[in-house]
Copies of this chain bind each other. A is one copy, B any other.
Amino acid sequence: MDDAHRLQYLFQTLGEANRLKIIKFIGDKERSVSEIVEATHLSQPLVSHHLRILRQRDILETKRNGPFIYYKLKDTKLLDALGLFLGIASTPKGKRTMEPMFCCPPWWRKGKKKL
């Protein structure tokens, strides 16, 4: 696997708001599933689903304690890296709220000139 695919894999893992919420809540601590469910207001199966992905992808690791399973970050450097990207993500100039994705009705540019 080359660099691009390694990065793709990591970015796809982190490119999900609920997973990011979970990571942020866990921070540098250990958190049980029920704590995460409560903090994120997500359903328990959904939290488990995301936790499984984050663990499979080496973002999180687990420790069992009785009936509880505690998740924590495998590498807390991730938190710093997220902060760095958040700086980049914070729409510095163009101040567009979000991608247009449909900037124009379908009939727009029928007969217009410039591309």
Contact = CB atoms under 8 A, between A and B. Distances in A.
A20 interface: yes
A2 to B, nearest CB: 8
Nearest to A100: B56
Nearest to A15: B11
Contact of A92 (B24, B75, B84): B75
Given A11-B15, A17-B8, A24-B4, A81 B82 contact: no
Nearest to A99: B56
A88 B100 contact: no
Interface in A26-53: none
A57 interface: yes
Interface in A51-103: 56-58, 74-75, 77-78, 81-82, 84-86, 88-94, 96-101
Contacts of A98: 1, 9
Contacts of A58: 91, 93-94, 96
Interface of A: 1, 3-12, 14-18, 20-21, 24, 56-58, 74-75, 77-78, 81-82, 84-86, 88-94, 96-101
